Structure 1
Amino acid sequence: MELLAALGSITFINLILSGDNAVIIALASRNLPPAQRKKAVIWGSAGAVILRIVLTLVAALLLKIPYVQFAGGLALLYIAINLLAEDKKEVSCQEASSFMEAVKIILFADLIMSLDNVLAIAGIADGNMMLLIFGLAMSIPLVVFGSQMLMTLMDRFPIIIYVGAGILGWTAAKMIVADQALGAMLQPYALMVEIGLTALVIAVGHWRKTRGHKEAITGSETTSFPGDTEK
């Protein structure tokens, strides 16, 4: 049961964090003829899978080093809070004019944008390499074909983002507690730390999101343009 929960978490988190990656894939290949476009998406995504698996394996090994896992947990807390706090931004990239150029753009963009995915998935897998590889291999096709649908659902049902942030917060807390050096002091209070940090992620992320919306509304109400005087 625990294995299935971890596998589900890897797939869910990969979907939530990979929306921008899926958009990049679509943008990079949209100028190509239909046949080349499909090949570019397939080969670019396949290369991205291999790159991400290699990077995640490296991250999983590094997280076993004392202090590194603690630092990784703190970084994942930051990622979890930002997942809630940040408004969706428009994603843009160079549009490729050839098949090989599209594949290069997809690979490079995925490499740059995958730090949060790599850290989150390595943390959830907790050193289980087979779970990590299987979870990534299974979730990548879902990312390519399902991210756009999930992004639409997240717009309609924001609770999905809160669930994702909660999973990331819980994973970050488990990483911090499991650190071989600093985590030893927190082991007696492990459950309280995990619940507390998960709640903190959701509370701080929600507060930042609410504050950002209020500032945006206030800014739009106070903005004036030259010539907008009453007659």
Structure 2
Amino acid sequence: MDFSSISFLDPALWGKLLEIIALNIVLSGDNAVVIALACRALSPEQRSKGIALGAGVAVVLRVIFTVLIASLLNTPFLHIIGAVLLVWIAVKLIIEDGESDEDSITASSKLWKAVQTVAIADIVMSLDNVLAIAAVAKDSIPLLVAGLVISIPLIVLGASLITSLLTRFPILVWAGAALLGWVAGEMFDTDPWLVARFGAETVHRFEYPAALIGALLVVGLGYLLKHRRPDPAL
């Protein structure tokens, strides 16, 4: 759809735009968690920059994947691979919680590492979100891009609020990681290979158990690996 075909006086256009924005806000809740978790250890000066960059990366990747990846979501094992990557990211966030090594990691490398974590997580988590947004935008790429770009400040705000809470209540890091594990479990359960092998109805029955197992797996692995690591203060 080209820009010349867009009528800005069309109520349907604004309705779809609002629908995309609202849908993206809901689907970006996990992104805000990832951004907040990844940026919590940055210095105050770097944190705001990391949140802004992370939110920008999240939205840009959402646009790209909504446009390009929808046709790949029926590929067998893609959701399984994504779930494994998401579990790895969540466990890594738990293990690194509270660590600070200023001598070996500069502020700029910390910032890049945080943005890189956000990018990897968003690539994985976008797999289940792109079809919903694409279904609203249909063939209107300008409408899709506009709705997602407008959502940037909303994602930044959500990440900023969550970051403040993580700073005050470190236990929430574990809750955030568990949420990522929950998403990983849901993603694993929706893999096309499993649906084809066992049937959609059977797979759907295990959606919540799989999500719960994913959350427990992240917390359990995070606890074991974190307590097996040598104390850096010793």
Counterpart in 2 of 1:201? 214
| 2:83–2:124 CA contact under 8 A, matched in 1 | no
Task: Identify the residue that residue 76 of structure 1 maps to in structure 2.
Answer: 82
Q: Tell me the C-alpha RMSD between the 2 structures.
A: 4.5
Q: Contact 2:181–2:217 at 8 Å: present in 1 too?
A: no
> For residue 178 of structure 2, what is the amino acid of its counterpart?
Y
How far apart, CA to CA, are the structure 1 residues paired with 2:21 and 2:56?
26
C-alpha separation between the residues in 2 aligned to 1:21 and 1:135?
25
2-structure distance, mates of 1:170, 1:147: 23
Cα distance 1:221–1:109, how it changes in 2: closer, same or farther (>3 A)? closer
Secondary structure (helix, strand or coil) at the match of 1:118 reads helix
- Give 1:166's match in structure 2, choosing from 172, 182, 189: 182
- Kept after mapping to 1: 8 A contact 2:32/2:158: yes
Verify the 8 A CA contact 1:80 1:169 in the aligned structure 2. no
Q: Structure 1: which 5+ residue stretches go unaligned?
A: 31-40, 96-104, 224-231
The residue number in structure 2 matching 1:114 is 119
Change (3 A) 1:46 1:222: closer
Task: Give TM-score scaled by structure 1 length.
Answer: 0.59
Structure 1 pair 110–203 and aligned structure 2 pair: CA distance change class (3 A) = closer
* 1:149 partner SS: helix
Q: Which runs of 5+ in 2 are unaligned?
A: 1-19, 138-143
Q: Distance in 2 between matches of 1:48 and 1:24?
A: 20
CA distance in 2, matches of 1:139, 1:21: 20
> In 2, distance between residues paired with 1:147 and 1:199?
24
Native 8 Å contact 2:25 2:151 kept in 1: no
Partner residue of 2:108?
Answer: 94
Which residue of the partner structure matches residue 156 of structure 2? Answer: 144
The alpha carbon displacement at 1:210 in A equals 1.3
Find the counterpart in structure 1 of residue 72 from structure 2: 63
Distance in 2, Cα, partners of 1:110 & 1:151: 14
Counterpart amino acid of residue 35 in structure 2: S
CA contact (8 A) 1:56 1:119 kept: no
**Alpha-carbon distance in structure 1 between the residues aligned to 2:177 and 2:56:** 28
**Aligned length in residues:** 191
Check the 8 A contact 1:80/1:168 in 2, yes or no. Answer: yes
- Bigger Rg over Cα: 1
| Equivalent residue letter for 1:159 | A
Q: CA deviation at 1:59?
A: 5.1
TM-score (norm 2): 0.58
Alignment match of 1:27 (pick from 30, 46, 51): 46
Give identity over the alignment, percent: 13
Q: 1:161 to 1:133 in 2, by over 3 A?
A: farther
Partner Cα separation in structure 2 for residue 215 and residue 122 of structure 1 = 33
Partner of 1:18: 35
Measure, in 2, the Cα distance between the counterparts of 1:83 and 1:118: 12
